[in-house]
Amino acid sequence: MSNYFEIKDLKVSFKTSERVKNVLDIDKLNLHKGETLGVVGESGAGKSVLAMSILRILPSPPAFIENGKIIFKGQNLLSLKEKEMQKIRGKEISMIFQDPMSTLNPVFTVGQQIMNVVRHNKHLNKEDAEKEALRMIKLVKLPDAKNTLCKYPNELSGGQRQRIIIAIALSCGAELLIADEPTRNLDVTIQAGVLKLIDELKKELRITVLFIANNVNLIFIVSDRVAVLYRGKIIEVGTSQEIKREPVHPYTRRLLGITPVDREISNLIEADFKKKISSDDFECSYFCKCEERMEMCKKNSPILTKIGNTHWVNCHRVINREVNNESTSISH
Amino acid sequence: MSKKSIYFNILMKRKLETLKEYLYLLAQNKLTFAALIIILFLIIIAIIAPIIVPFPSHIYGSVNPQDKLLSPSWTYLFGTDEMGRDLFSRVLYGTRISLLGSLIAVAMGLLIGVPLGLMAGFYGGFIDEFVMRIVDMFLSFPPLLLAMAIAAFLGPSLQNAIIALIISWWPWYTRLIRGQVVSIKEREFVRAAHAIGTPSWQIMFKHILPNCISPVIVQASLDLGGIILTLAALSFLGLGAQAPIPEWGLIINTSRTYFLKAWWYGIFPGMAIFIAVLCFNLLGDGLREVLDPKTKKY
């Protein structure tokens, strides 16, 4: 089951007039059928780029995929023709976007939009499409389905809109749902509702979810496994429990707010910052802010290494510690 | 009653409400409302002109030397011309020619300009460059001058004048709509539509076009007036309609000779042009106010 969905050596770069900037560099990331994988990271870590490169909807002149494979059900999505990809989008893999306020077309009613998608993709006639739309609206638990169908997006609240968007995204029978910060502009109670809905739909329709957010706590609520993204690299992957209880990468620890600040090192980091040393100069992308950095982090790029059954991490210090532990345990 | 009819009833009711609201907003502005009424009146006249004109035979041929250059009277409301034809009949019938001509020109201009602009904005790259450079070429001539040159090249007739107007007008729509498309294209809902596998043509016509059509509607309604004026200008210069077609510009042209003797000859067709153009301009402004959310007054 491990090869249901797999990303291998994916490298995405943006080309500007000055230089080529690598924004995403993923060695290995896989999704098991039926699970929810949470991807967490700060703004600019490349979360949305990851989502968009899976569906190949990155705006192509600045962005280009250098190399890599995205394997979905044995097919490499990156080698498919645009026409074949068109059949994957919506029908196999679907996506929910960040901002529910602007993801719906303002000039059509909600019903027209759902029916439009359904009619086109399932080749239904008007009457069946309408039934299908009603079913979808009931599926996302909106009350008064018939009246909702006739409403324009501006007459709905953010939470309602996000539910409609989920309905549209799932209306063509997608089995992998990419949720790109679906709760970003919603307030906390509505967030909870939307999260609960996604979770319920996941069980009901047996779909796989790639959940992207920059809020760690949200991620822990919804996901089975968590991948932490930092500057385009996956630095730690593990089950929610593992990441929550025993995060090992210094960045993850800081993200969860459990790292005591070491004065000496933080002064050092500040000095680096003043000297305008950028992380691009070092192999480890977290070098500049790392409080546990070592000499070797400057020159050797760490590799995502297995440290537990399901736990992978990308840090020299942690990896070395693990190796030492193992060697000491052997010598005993 | 099936489910279908219930849903469609609600939808139709809502659409009707929206239409009513727009009409209400249009009517809020007294000038626009008056313009709308006059335009409706002109359209009705244009449709039923052959029935209501008092002297149908005077529209084209018919020479009545005994009645030539009579001043306005109850028989001849607008007076008569140098061939003794009733000017009221001719000006009334001219409504039909001017409105139809400008409608055809604007419709064809939209038909050519809008898809091209949509394509240029949506696909970008080479197509964009290619289309927009052609547009730039057309736009670097004053529209009247270009229309004159084309009409002169094609030979003077009403059809050729309209063709000339179409050729010199479509680039305006292309440029207008391309600018809109480029901005709408980057909106989230377009990307979302793309992400769930909506084909390009559907994104273009269902998602982008309806969202950028309102400035085009405004421009088209303003152009209806502008084209009436330009068509009259072409006829006035002898490049458009030829005698004996009762085109307003042409009537004014022939009236020049009798300008001092018969004031009514040029004044009435001139008034007709004035009213038609003014009303379309007022309507265009009114539409802009209603359709552009930035100027909307609630």
pLDDT tens figures, A148-194: 888 888 888 888 888 898 888 888 888 889 988 888 778 888 888 88
User: Which percentage of chain A shows pLDDT scores above 70?
Assistant: 89
Asked if residue A115 is part of any domain, the answer here is no
- Strand A305-306, strand A36-40: pairing: unpaired
Q: Of the residues A234, A257, A272, which one is the last residue of a structural domain? A: A234
Residue (of A153, A269, A173, A306) closest to B189 by Cα position: A153
CB atoms within 10 A of CB A83: 8
Amino acid B1: pLDDT: 40
Contact at CB, A90 and B197, closer than 8 angstroms: yes
Tell me the pLDDT tens digit for each residue of B55-68. 888 788 777 778 78
Maximum average pLDDT range among A187-191, B40-44, B294-298: B40-44
Asked if residue A313 is part of any domain, the answer here is yes
Tell me the pLDDT tens digit for each residue of B161-175. 999 999 999 999 999
Tell me which chain B residues have a C-beta less than 8 angstroms from the C-beta of A127.
2-4
Asked if residue A304 is part of any domain, the answer here is yes
Asked if residue A72 is part of any domain, the answer here is yes
**Whether A299 and A201 share a structural domain:** no
Task: Identify from B1, B7, B128 which residue to disrupt to test chain A contact, counting A C-beta atoms within 10 A and taking the largest count.
Answer: B7
Asked if residue A60 is part of any domain, the answer here is yes
Q: Give B2's pLDDT tier (boundaries 50, 70, 90).
A: very low
**Whether A210 and A266 share a structural domain:** no
Contact at CB, A150 and B10, closer than 8 angstroms: yes
Q: Which domain holds residue A312?
A: 247-331
Q: By mean pLDDT, which of A232-236, A243-247, A274-278 is the weakest?
A: A274-278
Amino acid A10: pLDDT: 87
Asked if residue A306 is part of any domain, the answer here is yes
Q: What is the CATH number of the domain that holds A50?
A: 3.40.50.300
List the single residue in B196, B199, B211 with the smallest CB-CB distance to A107: B211
**Whether A273 and A191 share a structural domain:** no
**Whether A198 and A92 share a structural domain:** yes
Cα B210 from Cα A259, distance rounded (Å): 53
CA triple A206-A211-A214, angle to 5 deg: 165
Burial of B56 (0-12, 13-18, 19+ CB in 10 A): middle
**Whether A75 and A14 share a structural domain:** yes
User: Which percentage of chain B shows pLDDT scores above 70?
Assistant: 96
Residue (of B291, B140, B128, B287) closest to B223 by Cα position: B287
Burial of B257 (0-12, 13-18, 19+ CB in 10 A): exposed
**Whether A306 and A179 share a structural domain:** no
CB atoms within 10 A of CB B256: 10
Mean pLDDT on A64-83? 85
**Whether A283 and A223 share a structural domain:** no
- How does A298-317 read in b/e, with b if 16+ C-beta sit within 10 Å? eeeebebeebeeebbbbbbb
Cα distance from B204 to chain A (closest Cα, Å)? 12
**Whether A71 and A183 share a structural domain:** yes
CA-nearest residue to A54 within chain B is B195
**Whether A256 and A301 share a structural domain:** yes
Q: Is the pLDDT of residue A55 over 80?
A: yes
Name the CATH superfamily, with its identifier, for domain B20-54+79-291.
MetI-like (1.10.3720.10)
Number of domains in chain A: 2
Provide the mean pLDDT of chain A. 82
Q: Give A279's pLDDT tier (boundaries 50, 70, 90).
A: low
Asked if residue A242 is part of any domain, the answer here is no
Domain ranges of chain B: 20-54+79-291
**Whether A45 and A72 share a structural domain:** yes
Interface residues from chain B to A (CB-CB < 8 Å): 2-4, 6-7, 10-11, 14, 187-189, 191-199, 202, 206-207, 210-211
Asked if residue A124 is part of any domain, the answer here is no
**Whether A193 and A258 share a structural domain:** no
Q: Of the residues A212, A234, A256, which one is the last residue of a structural domain? A: A234
**Whether A85 and A205 share a structural domain:** yes
